[in-house]
């Protein structure tokens, strides 16, 4: 492999991460992160979860600027990953939708780019999803998925796509938009990993369900072209920062797959990440895998394209660290109603100390307050309340236990073990900082050794794909 560096980029939900990898050794040399503060108010209220793409790009440039001129000039390839499922629309051909400032940063022309409708978006109700045409795909369609969101926009915002007032003519994930800008692509290109995360994509035939979508009135012409992951889709058409013109840019990838690639040490490893949300997965072993023949139990497990023709069996919960954060926020709100002010740090310290010594007492909390994709109408619940088991420590312990119990429902220990998994690599801020979570995890998955600290890094995974 030639000398120089590979650049990995992760356009995440709350932050952007960039890493520099030495090509000869594959070692991670530097990593930087910037919060995006990109959330914007949606015109449909709390159901809409939208972001300002220009703020995501600003955070990216802040990360890139922390690399020296010499480091940037020695970058020989760019891998991009980021938040799956979400979509952004833009106008590509007639009017430039991006420019470059004096530092060669990409500056977006906002009137030609829609908001980013993220994976958290809740505008597609269960009734709406049931009204959509049936896909030829082993993957279910859910709210927050690109094709579902675009169906909603087509039905409720038809001017977006009308011939008389066509505001946008292409679409993709926010990562696909970045790749298109770097390579001057009129038609965006995405990987099969990201296409599968949108719905209406046949991973066996490696193509969109175009005929089905057309019959449903979907604007098929806006969909990106699809290539295999690991494909070079173009080269930088201009100097970007101090990265040279002509640098290869790879098709954007899914952040879950990249995090798994960076963390996994053996083919028999499962990887668990508990951050804002929660994901647990393992690579299915075998050749010529056909996802239409994969086991349907448990219903909560999906099979996403991985690398080299493999599939990743994945349980992706919408409830993870966000649940305990909501609990802390609730307590602070209650305190304020009594005119007390307690810092978030003090609340966390007290909760962890109290819950660490609390014992099981019959209180059970199902903390699925954000629902789940396979059960979108499910909500949280509390059972087993008595007059002696609702102390603060006992309640918080029940919340933490409930998060892991929900994971067990979605990907049971026996299911993991019977698929040849020999150990679980557990990572993420919640696992690292919450001893109550770790203790429950070890109880539930007691048949499989659990190793901590091998953290998945999506940006690093994207850089590893660069050849």
Question: Using one digit for the tens of pLDDT, what is the confidence trace for 281-329?
Answer: 999 987 668 898 887 778 899 999 999 999 999 999 999 999 999 999 9
Closest CA to 167 of 158, 176, 175: 158
Quote the mean pLDDT of the chain: 92
Residue 356: per-residue pLDDT? 87
Query: Which one is the CATH code of 5-251: 3.40.920.10, 3.30.420.40, 2.60.40.2130, 1.10.1200.10?
Result: 3.30.420.40
Alpha-carbon 346 to chain mean position: 30
Q: Which CATH class is domain 265-453?
A: alpha beta
Contact predicate 104/240, CB 8 Å? yes
Residue 97: per-residue pLDDT? 60
Enumerate the CATH 3.30.420.40 domain ranges in the chain, comma separated: 5-251, 265-453
Residue 164: per-residue pLDDT? 61
Closest CA to 30 of 13, 6, 54: 6
Neighbours of 375 (CB within 10 A): 14
Contact predicate 191/227, CB 8 Å? yes
Closest CA to 424 of 320, 273, 316: 273
Distance in angstroms between the alpha carbons of the first and the last residue of the chain: 8
The residue ranges of the chain whose pLDDT is under 70 are: 1, 93-100, 102, 109-110, 163-166, 287-288, 454
């Amino acid at each position: 492999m030639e000398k120089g560096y590979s650049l990995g980029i992760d356009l995440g939900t709350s932050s952007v991460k960039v890493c520099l990898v030495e090509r000869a050794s594959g070692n991670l040399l530097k990593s930087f992160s910037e919060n995006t503060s990109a959330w914007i108010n949606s015109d449909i209220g709390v159901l809409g979860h939208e972001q300002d793409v220009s703020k995501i790009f600003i955070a990216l440039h802040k990360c890139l600027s922390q690399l020296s001129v010499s480091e940037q000039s020695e970058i020989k390839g760019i891998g991009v990953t980021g938040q799956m499922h979400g979509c952004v629309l833009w106008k590509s051909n007639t009017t430039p939708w991006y420019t470059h400032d004096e530092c060669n940063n990409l500056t977006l022309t906002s009137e030609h780019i829609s908001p980013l409708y993220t994976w958290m978006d809740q505008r597609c109700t269960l009734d709406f999803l049931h009204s959509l045409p049936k896909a030829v795909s082993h993957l279910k369609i859910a709210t927050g998925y690109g094709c579902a969101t675009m169906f909603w926009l087509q039905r409720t915002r038809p001017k977006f796509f009308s011939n008389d007032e066509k505001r946008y003519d292409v679409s993709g994930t926010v990562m696909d938009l970045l790749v298109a800008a770097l390579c001057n692509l009129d038609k965006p290109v995405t990987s099969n990993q990201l296409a599968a995360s949108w719905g209406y994509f046949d991973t066996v035939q490696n193509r969109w369900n175009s005929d089905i979508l057309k019959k449903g009135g979907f604007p098929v012409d806006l969909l990106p072209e699809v290539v295999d992951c690991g494909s070079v889709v173009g080269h930088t058409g201009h100097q970007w920062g101090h990265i040279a013109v002509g640098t290869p840019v790879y098709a954007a990838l899914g952040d879950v797959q990249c995090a798994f690639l960076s963390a996994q040490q053996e083919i028999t490893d499962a990887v668990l990440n508990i951050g804002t949300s929660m994901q647990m997965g393992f690579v299915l072993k075998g050749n010529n895998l056909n996802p239409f023949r994969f086991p349907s139990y448990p219903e909560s497990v999906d099979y996403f394209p991985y690398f080299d023709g493999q599939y990743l069996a994945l349980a992706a919960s919408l409830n993870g660290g966000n649940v305990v954060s909501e609990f802390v926020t609730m307590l602070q709100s209650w305190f304020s109603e009594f005119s007390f002010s307690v810092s978030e740090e003090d609340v966390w310290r007290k909760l962890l100390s109290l819950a660490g010594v609390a014992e099981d007492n019959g209180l059970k909390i199902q903390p699925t307050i954000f629902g789940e994709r396979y059960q979108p109408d499910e909500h949280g619940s509390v059972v087993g309340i008595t007059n002696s088991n609702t102390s603060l420590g006992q309640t918080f312990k029940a919340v933490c236990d409930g998060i892991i119990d929900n994971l067990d429902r979605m990907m049971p220990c026996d299911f993991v073990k019977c698929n040849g998994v020999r150990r679980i690599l557990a990572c993420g801020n919640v696992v690292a900082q919450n001893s109550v979570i770790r203790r429950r995890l070890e109880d539930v998955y007691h048949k499989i050794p659990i190793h901590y600290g091998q953290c998945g890094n999506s940006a690093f995974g994207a850089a590893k794909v660069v050849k």
